[in-house]
Each structure stands twice: as C-alpha cells, then as structure tokens.
C-alpha cells in the first residue's frame, strides 16, 4: 500500500503537478479577489432581474456555489445552465455569464452563441479560446483568467470572480471581510493538509485512507449542497473513483430507504457528510437522523465539520479540504490525478460529428 508520508510518491505519481495547484489555492484566491474588485462592469448591467451562468464541470461549479450564496441574500433568481442551447426565459433583463476555462467547451459555446441572438447582457470568464474570440468580436466584457491549470484546479478563478461580480451587482453584500477570514482559514488549513504534514496529524490523508476501495457518496445540505457536488466531481476526476452526491432534505425521502439491498454493497460504501454549524435547526435534525440510520445499517460514514464563521469561509475551506482528500486518494490509487482519458475520449468522439447533427 502507498505510504502517504513518503514524499517520493508525489514525484512518481503526480507527474502533471496537481499538488502545485493545491499549494497555490489560497494565494490564487487572494489575487483573483484583488483583480475582480478592479474589474469594471458596464453601468447598464445593474438593472437585471435574473442571472444565467453557462458552464460545465470545473468551470460551472463556481456558478453553483455563488448561486447558493445568493439564495440567502437576494430575491433574484440565478440559473446554472449545463447544456446546449439557452433557457427560453432569457431576455433583455437577463445577465448571461459564460464560464469556460479553456474557452472551447462545446456546450458552453453553444449556449453563449445562442445568447448572442438575444438582447441579454453578456459576460465571459475564460482564459481564451473561441469564447474569448466571440466575446471580443461582439464587444462583450471578458474577465480573463491568467492562471495555467486544469479547469478543476482553477476553482479560485471560476468562483471568486463571480462573488465579486455578484457583489458589484448588489446580489451579494460586501464580502471583503468574509473573504479576508476565508483566506486566513485557507492559509492555516493548507499547512494542516500539505503533504509534509504526516498522516497522524493530517485529516485529509486520514479521510482518503478511509475512502480507499470504497464507493463514496457525499451528503450535503443548505450552503454546503454544492460542496457535495464539488467533492463528488473531484473524487471522479482526480481519484479516478466512483463517487456520487445526494442533497438534504430530499435524500431523507428516498436515499435512506435504499440501504438494505443488495446487502453486500454496505461493506463497500462510505458516506461523507459535510456539516456546518450555520445549518438551520431542522437541517441539523436531518443530519442527526441520517447518521443514526447509517450507523444502524452498518454503513461507514464520517461527518466533516466546516471551518469559519461565515458561509463563504466554510465553503472555500471545505473545497480545499476535499481537493486534498481527492489528491491523496489518487495517490493511494496509484494514479496521476491530472489526465482525464475518458473525458478526452468523449470529446474526440463528439468531434467526429457535426454539432448541427446533434
């Protein structure tokens, strides 16, 4: 079995340098926040009554999380669109934000191209590609990403700009103090989780060791709902592992009934429950009842407590924690976390067909 305290394994298995991006996570968040505060939005972008965020995979997760934050502070609906085309409700009072790290994501380009035929306000977040070319051609503002990384490792560049943009639009309050607290927590957490911190004192290494060989299910609720999605995605992409996510309170109306069959699966499932002290009393009870059901059913599980006094700090700290867990699980699986052979296969397969055909 791989020894996570043997630093040589990281040189051998992490050939593409995913660990470097984890090291840079806190600093990238700081730099992007400073950059977005200087980013100017056209004055006519303020009077909108809904926001549609276009994206897929690692470029879309920032939209999910800012949507969840906005739910607590704004009456304005926010829709995250992971598909081709465009929702029919997009109109002149809509702000469409296309988020694609590469700028070449097929589904996002389809939706953004469709938006050009509407009177909606538009904005792009990208490192380049066709999305930037289209936006520049149409005179559409672009928040440029200047960090080289796989899209999922560029999370600070897909999430933090949206927090700043939503703040400028009045959909979120001033998050400067919240982000300052988040950065303090991230810097401390990074020291706790870094590869040089031994297993006995490293909670990410400990949890990854427990997850090895299991089908992982993440149970999330309220502001941590999208954290559950992020953990699932990272375990899939970095660890090359089966993982799924379920959301409270819905999972208590169906998922908990499925613990019985097939009985042999119980020994191969591990449930992770990201938890926040900010949850409402009813959500707290949902977590307690579910933990009891898991224990009674003999299903391995663990509650992971969010750190910080604000929702923003808790979300960001749990994202970093989950990223490290998925990285260490990749090491235990003896696989390079960066390459995505299956995703690349699908892209090559789709490229054989004219987009108009599908």
Residues taking part in catalysis: 237, 253, 347
Q: State the burial class of residue 153 (Cβ atoms within 10 Å of its Cβ: 0-12, 13-18, 19+).
A: buried
Instruction: Please state, in angstroms and rounded to a whole number, the distance separating the CA atoms of residues 297 and 285.
Output: 18
Backbone angle region of 120, left / alpha / beta, with phi > 0 → left and psi within -120 to 50 → alpha? beta
Query: Across the strands, what pairs with 97?
Result: 53, 123
What is the rounded distance in angstroms from the CA atom of residue 104 to the CA atom of residue 212? 34
Residue in the block written with tokens 């909670």: 203
Structure tokens at 336: 């390079």
What one-character DSSP code corresponds to residue 353? S
Q: Are 209 and 4 in contact, with CB atoms under 8 Å apart?
A: yes
For 188-197, which contacts have Cβ atoms below 8 Å and span 24 or more sequence positions?
189/307, 189/317, 189/320, 189/321, 190/22, 190/23, 190/25, 190/26, 190/320, 193/22, 193/320, 193/321, 193/324, 194/23, 195/4, 195/7, 195/10, 195/19, 196/7
Structure tokens belonging to residue 133: 């070319």
């Amino acid at each position: 079995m791989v020894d996570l305290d043997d630093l040589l394994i990281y040189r051998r298995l992490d050939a593409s340098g995913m660990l470097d991006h984890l090291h840079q996570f806190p600093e990238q968040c700081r730099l992007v926040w400073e950059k977005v505060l200087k980013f100017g939005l056209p004055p006519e972008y303020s009077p909108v009554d809904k926001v549609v965020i276009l994206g897929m995979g690692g470029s879309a997760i920032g939209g999910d999380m800012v949507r969840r934050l906005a739910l607590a502070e704004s009456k304005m609906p926010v829709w995250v669109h992971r598909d081709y085309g465009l929702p029919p409700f997009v109109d002149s009072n809509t702000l469409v934000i296309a988020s694609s790290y590469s700028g070449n994501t097929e589904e996002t380009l389809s939706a953004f191209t469709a938006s050009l035929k509407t009177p909606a306000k538009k904005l792009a977040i990208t490192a380049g590609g066709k999305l930037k070319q289209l936006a520049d051609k149409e005179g559409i503002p672009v928040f440029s990403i200047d960090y080289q990384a796989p899209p999922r490792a560029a999370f600070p560049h897909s999430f933090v700009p949206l927090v700043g943009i939503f703040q400028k639009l009045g959909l979120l309050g001033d998050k400067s103090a919240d982000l300052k607290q988040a950065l303090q927590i991230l810097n401390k957490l990074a020291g706790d989780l870094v590869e040089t911190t031994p297993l006995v004192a490293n909670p990410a290494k400990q949890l990854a060791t427990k997850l090895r060989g299991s089908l992982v299910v993440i149970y999330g609720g309220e502001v941590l709902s999208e954290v559950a999605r992020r953990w699932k995605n990272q375990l899939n992409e970095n660890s090359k592992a089966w993982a799924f996510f379920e959301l409270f309170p819905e999972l208590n109306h169906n998922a908990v009934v499925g613990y019985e069959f097939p009985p042999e699966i119980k020994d191969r499932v591990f449930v992770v429950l990201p938890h926040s002290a900010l949850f409402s009393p009813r959500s707290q009870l949902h977590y307690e009842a579910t933990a009891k059901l898991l224990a009674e059913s003999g299903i391995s599980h663990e509650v992971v407590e969010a750190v910080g006094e604000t929702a923003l700090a808790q979300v960001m700290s749990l994202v970093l924690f989950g990223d490290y867990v998925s990285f260490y699980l990749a090491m235990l699986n003896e696989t390079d976390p960066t390459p995505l052979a299956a995703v690349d296969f699908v892209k090559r397969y789709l490229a054989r067909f004219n987009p108009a055909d599908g």
